[in-house]
Amino acid sequence: MARYKELSSSELVRACAASKDERAWTEFIRRFQVVIAATVLRTARHWGEPSRSQIDDLVQDVYLKLCEDDCHLLASFRPKYEDSIYGFLKVVAANVVHDHFKSALAAKRGAGQTEALLDPVPIRPKTNVPESLEVVTQHLQLEQVDKILRQVTAGKDEGRKRMIFWLRHRQGLTASEIASIPSIGLTTEGVESVLMRLTTMIRGHIASSIPHCEVKVLNRQNRSNR
């Protein structure tokens, strides 16, 4: 799988669309699970309060959608810029969720009795990127932050810890929202604890390159996680 980790997002998408190589799809899930899960959760909440099992099923539905008709959606994807796949996956995930709930609503009301539904609500972050991460990214590119993150999370539960970190800092989810994603498997307090430990460890790596007054801002980030 090492060679797939070296591919750009666009190259990885083409590799998955052109083959059924399990290693390519493993890298696809590792790289894009965060954005898919976050979009599913937020979109589902436009329709009510989804259960953990329902979120898990909807995430699987997104992958089924991407794989149907010999990966037609991925094969037809034409990126306008590098990493535009993230926006594409958000649209696909949101549409899968909306279609699911529209179908369920239509079934309840009976054929031909479905009332006009509101257009899908645009997906926007609920919160701005935390100030602490803004301070960091003034000095480090996200790739460098992720490199440090990989170092401090190496070993058991590396994937889950990285997902928690980026759901918070890229997707703007709160600790309680992250905890509601089935694959996380933690309580809100557990998510908060992970975020606090990761922040402390990352701060230790970058403290030498950031002025002390800015580094102190990182201590405040978890107060608004709930």
For residue 169, give every residue at least 6 positions away whose Cβ sits within 8 Å of its Cβ, in sequence order, or none: 129, 130, 133
Position 109 scores a pLDDT of 63
Is residue 123 domain-resident?
Answer: no
Predicted model pTM: 0.56
Position 172 scores a pLDDT of 75
Same-domain check for residues 91 and 37: yes
Same-domain check for residues 100 and 152: no
Same-domain check for residues 57 and 14: yes
Same-domain check for residues 29 and 75: yes
Position 139 scores a pLDDT of 42
Position 36 scores a pLDDT of 92
Is residue 27 domain-resident?
Answer: yes
Position 110 scores a pLDDT of 57
For 140, half-sphere exposure in the C-beta direction (CA atoms, 13 angstrom radius) is 20
| Residue 46 in tokens | 């436009």
Q: Residue 22: which domain range?
A: 2-109
Is residue 116 domain-resident?
Answer: no
Is residue 69 domain-resident?
Answer: yes
Position 213 scores a pLDDT of 41
Same-domain check for residues 103 and 172: no
Same-domain check for residues 90 and 174: no
Same-domain check for residues 172 and 208: yes
Tell me the helix, strand and coil percentages in the chain, rounded to 5: 70, 0, 30
Same-domain check for residues 47 and 105: yes
Position 61 scores a pLDDT of 93
Position 66 scores a pLDDT of 93
Position 160 scores a pLDDT of 82
pLDDT, one tens digit for every residue, the chain (226 residues): 558 888 988 899 999 998 888 899 999 998 899 889 989 998 998 888 888 888 989 999 999 999 988 899 999 988 887 778 888 999 999 999 998 988 887 776 654 443 433 344 343 444 343 434 444 444 445 667 778 888 888 877 788 888 888 888 777 778 888 887 767 888 888 888 888 888 888 877 766 555 444 444 445 544 555 5
Is residue 216 domain-resident?
Answer: yes
Is residue 115 domain-resident?
Answer: no
Number of domains in the chain: 2
| Residue 127 in tokens | 């919160």
Is residue 122 domain-resident?
Answer: no
Q: What is d(CA 225, CA 177) in angstroms, rounded to the nearest whole number?
A: 9
Same-domain check for residues 84 and 178: no
Same-domain check for residues 28 and 102: yes
User: Which CATH number goes with the domain that contains 45?
Assistant: 1.10.1740.10
Same-domain check for residues 105 and 6: yes
Position 168 scores a pLDDT of 81
Is residue 114 domain-resident?
Answer: no
